[in-house]
Structure 1
Amino acid sequence: MTTLGLTQKKLAEVSRVSTATLRQIQHGQDKNRQPAVLTAISRALDLPDGYLQEVADQGRASAVTSGESATVVELREQLADLRERVASIESRLNQIRSD
């Protein structure tokens, strides 16, 4: 979420999953979440559909190696970082324009 610049509220809106459910998943309190919910969150985070289900079942390292190569994961992280930077620049430009 941080890498993409998403708040919990925004992720809830994009994934159509309640903030309460997201909070439970983030804190590991909901081990038996429906696959459709995890797929919706994965898509909202621009991850492969089954990524969060694999993380829930096997841990992050297994999900990375089975779903995508390390290079693809790194590229996704870099792209998310660039999106965050562009959003920050746009925000600053909007502030300057409004002053």
Structure 2
Amino acid sequence: MASMFEVLAEPRRREILDLLRTSERPVGDLVERLALTQPAVSKHLKVLREAGLVEVRQDAQRRWYRLRAAPLVEIDEWLAPYRRLWNDSLDALEHHLDTIPDDPEES
């Protein structure tokens, strides 16, 4: 099975997740919004389903997909040290900018 990073590396899969973030949607709606063929959307949904990022609910002839955010915790935990690094760097930049005089005549 592909790693979570491999699954999320595909831009169309991220678009699908973005659409599902707001509400559950049928395949037809995803096809229309993404301007992809139904088989292409279904292939992406299969990969997302196997990774545990989406789940499907059958309603008569329609399949409704919804986001499962829990697996994204793995990504969030991996990104945490990098987020801290960026925050530290931005804090240092802010501190440096605060030490620069506003009036060029003052320097």
Larger Cα-atom Rg: 2
TM-score when scaled to structure 2? 0.34
TM-score when scaled to structure 1? 0.36
Larger fraction in helix: 1
Larger fraction in strand: 2
